[in-house]
């Protein structure tokens, strides 16, 4: 088992390095071609920032797949399965459309059609859902058209969920990286814990996706120097959906029944994997919630579901009073809690400690959400010793006015020829011996 772990780490490190090193040149290229849109009403950043970060992420994807193809253990994924080629085909198509959108602002329906075509390309090459494990029933086989239709729907939903949450610096890449890390642990356990090789492609996809996000994050953290754009958000959404489809629709619950003592137990053991088909996608539950709320909100107002607004979850956190960095960290926290909590529950579902730990961390998350409403106030005798945000409103306003007055420079006094009088008054004396520069056409 040690050798595969080292190969996954090597693939991860190569993907991180290639993505990180490509992002700098890509930023210069984006500035050169003018892929820097003007500030929009819904944007949080204050100055134009280049996009096209998805170019570097796609380079990391290609590098990761290339390295894995030449490793001893991971090479079997390419020999026994066509899923890596299917992923690369669909990713190349959706990435190309995203690049065009970052530069030319394509219509939403065109992007939706490209997402469906990309999912269809993957289905044609074998990356599709074959059956659905249902709790208490077992595996339910799907007809080809049912599997393809469900695959396309899952890909489209996941891509748009990731795209919708990409609203703050480092938010989408960080949340996807956290969720993918939990997914990697679960897929790796299915492969090497149960000896089911059908989970190998999903494990590889998760490792590469983590590398893509980790390599891009240093350039995208607040204040971001480059955005991933639709070329990046749609790409990582498609890779994440491909990993979920691979392990959910390809791993046979009957094979797991040999290890966990029955088909129903096998179905229960796969709970965090097939839940994405029902909720859908537990591993990015926060973006999914944001997507559903956005569609309901915009439809209720009579707008298009694709119309942009400032009602997303991260916008609401900013309105509550959270700073940019704190809002991102709160979203990270909830993403990690849901993803890792689901995986932990699937491993030890009978343990009460898992439920208690998840409940306790959820309470901590709620306190973090409401933190601006419970800002501590210092006693009046200590108000001068603390920052203004911890003072009472009246005293804070007075302190702010005093600070502003102290910061204003003293206006320069005009120099007039003559003798200064009492209290700084200037007595006008004889005309200066210097000529009047205003007569020479000076502007002053």
- For the chain, give the mean pLDDT: 77
Separation CA 85–CA 305 (nearest Å): 33
Beta strand spans in 97-219 (E): 131-134, 138-141
Residue 344 pLDDT grade (very low, low, confident, very high; cuts 50, 70, 90): confident
Continuous segment of H or E residues that includes residue 427: strand 426-428
Question: Which residues, in sequence order, are CB contacts of 214 under 8 Å at separation 6+?
Answer: 12, 16, 19, 177
Predicted confidence at residue 269, as pLDDT, reads 52
Higher pLDDT, 132 or 429: 132
Separation CA 196–CA 81 (nearest Å): 13
Separation CA 133–CA 135 (nearest Å): 7
204-227: average pLDDT: 94
* Residue 26 tokens, joined: 């890509």
**Which of 46-50, 326-330, 348-352, 426-430 shows the lowest per-residue confidence on average (mean pLDDT)?**
426-430
Where does 105-199 have alpha helices with state H? 108-124, 144-165, 171-188, 194
Report in angstroms the alpha-carbon separations of 249 from 135, 141, 231.
15, 10, 27
Res. 353: pLDDT tops 60: yes
Predicted confidence at residue 118, as pLDDT, reads 96
Q: Taking the domains of the chain in order of start, what are their residue ranges? A: 2-306
Predicted confidence at residue 436, as pLDDT, reads 44
Predicted confidence at residue 239, as pLDDT, reads 95
> Of the segments 73-82, 245-254, 392-401, which one has the largest average pLDDT value?
73-82
pTM of the model: 0.75
356-382 pLDDT, tens digit each = 888 898 888 878 777 765 555 566 666
25-69 pLDDT, tens digit each = 999 999 999 888 776 555 555 678 899 999 999 999 999 999 999
Long-range contacts of 35-39 (CB under 8 A, 24+ apart): 35/102, 35/103, 35/229, 37/105
Res. 435: pLDDT tops 50: no
Using alpha carbons only, how large is the chain's radius of gyration in Å?
29
Res. 431: pLDDT tops 50: no
């Amino acid at each position: 088992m040690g050798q595969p772990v080292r190969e996954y780490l090597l693939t991860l490190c190569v993907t991180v390095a290639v993505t990180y090193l490509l992002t700098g040149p890509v930023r210069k290229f984006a500035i050169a071609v003018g892929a820097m849109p003007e500030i929009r009403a819904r944007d949080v950043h204050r100055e134009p920032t280049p996009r096209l970060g998805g170019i570097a992420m796609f380079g990391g994807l290609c590098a990761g797949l290339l390295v894995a193809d030449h490793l001893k253990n991971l090479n079997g994924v390419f020999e026994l399965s066509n899923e890596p080629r299917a992923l690369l085909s669909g990713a190349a198509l959706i990435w190309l459309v995203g690049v065009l959108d970052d530069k030319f602002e394509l219509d939403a329906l065109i992007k939706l059609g490209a997402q469906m075509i990309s999912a269809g390309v993957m289905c044609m090459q074998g990356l599709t859902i074959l059956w659905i494990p249902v709790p208490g029933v077992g595996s339910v086989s799907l007809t080809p058209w049912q599997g393809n239709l469900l695959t396309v729907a899952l890909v489209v939903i996941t891509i748009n969920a990731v795209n919708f949450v990409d609203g703050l610096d480092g938010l989408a890449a960080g949340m996807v990286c956290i969720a993918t890390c939990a997914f990697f642990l679960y897929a790796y356990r299915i492969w090497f814990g149960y000896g089911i090789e059908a989970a190998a492609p999903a494990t590889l996809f998760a490792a590469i996706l983590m590398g893509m996000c980790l390599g891009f994050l240093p350039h995208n953290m607040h204040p971001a120097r480059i955005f991933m754009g639709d070329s990046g958000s749609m790409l990582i959404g498609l890779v994440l959906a491909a990993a979920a489809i691979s392990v959910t629709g390809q791993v046979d619950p009957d094979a797991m029944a040999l290890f966990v003592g029955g088909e129903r137990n096998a179905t229960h053991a796969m709970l965090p994997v097939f839940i994405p088909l029902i909720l859908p996608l537990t591993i990015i539950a926060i973006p999914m919630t944001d997507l559903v709320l956005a569609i309901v909100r915009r439809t209720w107002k009579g707008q298009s579901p694709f119309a942009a607004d400032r009602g997303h979850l991260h916008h609401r956190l900013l309105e509550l009073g959270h700073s940019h960095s704190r809002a991102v960290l709160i979203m990270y926290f909830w993403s990690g809690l849901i993803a890792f909590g689901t995986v932990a529950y699937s491993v030890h579902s009978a343990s009460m400690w898992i439920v208690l730990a998840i409940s306790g961390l959820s309470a901590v998350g709620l306190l973090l959400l409401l933190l601006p409403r419970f800002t501590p106030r210092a006693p009046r005798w200590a108000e001068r010793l603390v920052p203004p945000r911890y003072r009472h409103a009246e005293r804070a306003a007075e302190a702010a006015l005093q600070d502003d007055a102290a910061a204003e420079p003293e206006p320069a006094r005009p120099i007039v020829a003559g003798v200064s009088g009492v209290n700084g008054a200037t007595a006008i004396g004889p005309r200066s011996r210097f000529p009047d520069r205003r007569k020479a056409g000076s502007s002053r």
